Amino acid sequence: MPETFLIETPRLRLRTFQLADVAAFAAYRAAPEVARFQSWEPYSYAQAADFVAAQAGQPIPAPPGTWVQIGIALAATNELVGDCALCLAADEPRQGEIGITLAPAWQGRGYAAEALRGLFAHCFETLGLHRLIAVTDCENVASVRLLGSVGMRREAHFRQNIWFKGAWGDEYVYALLREEWPIK
């Protein structure tokens, strides 16, 4: 029932992407600082429009092994301020990986932490997942701070495990178990 997907937090709504999100999504997906630690390069407007059209109305979660993007919108106005993503493991769908992006103008307000806590509650309490992970470039200071602040444990530090944008990169893996939720 993708059209009914909704996670509400005090200031935000996590919801399916809508065609009206294209302008906001295109603006932040075009920003080099947003793309810096992501697997993709800055998007053109046309790429962003195609992406939103493909995501709009998708079931959340997607079938195991497939990423789905979840819009993060202001509760007050429904304006898109970023997105998080969820992928259930193909071989063990009780485990999932998450990711998150906020538009630069909306960073530094605690929205990312609020969105992740809402997503964790949904994943553990509604979907009944066992374990969530997040993978981040070790140099992504904002992401490292965020994942620690929402209670994820750093479980792995991989050295030069990924050829990333022209150089070998280091990554941290963070994890959270359902039995560790809610964070005290």
Ligand X SMILES: CC(C)(COP(=O)(O)OP(=O)(O)OC[C@H]1O[C@@H](n2cnc3c(N)ncnc32)[C@H](O)[C@@H]1OP(=O)(O)O)[C@@H](O)C(=O)NCCC(=O)NCCS
Positions that interact with ligand X (CB under 6 A)? 34, 37-38, 99-102, 107-113, 136, 140, 142-143, 145-146
Measured distance CA(183)–CA(150) in Å, rounded: 8
110's enclosing H/E stretch is none
Q: Which is nearer to ligand X, 88 or 102 (CB)?
A: 102
Residue 1 C-beta: closest distance to ligand X, Å: 28
* For the chain, counts of helices (H) and of strands (E): 5, 8
Residue 168 C-beta: closest distance to ligand X, Å: 18
Residue 136 C-beta: closest distance to ligand X, Å: 4
Position closest to ligand X via CB: 110
Measured distance CA(36)–CA(29) in Å, rounded: 11
Q: Which is nearer to ligand X, 58 or 140 (CB)?
A: 140
Residues 144, 39: contact at Cβ < 8 Å? no
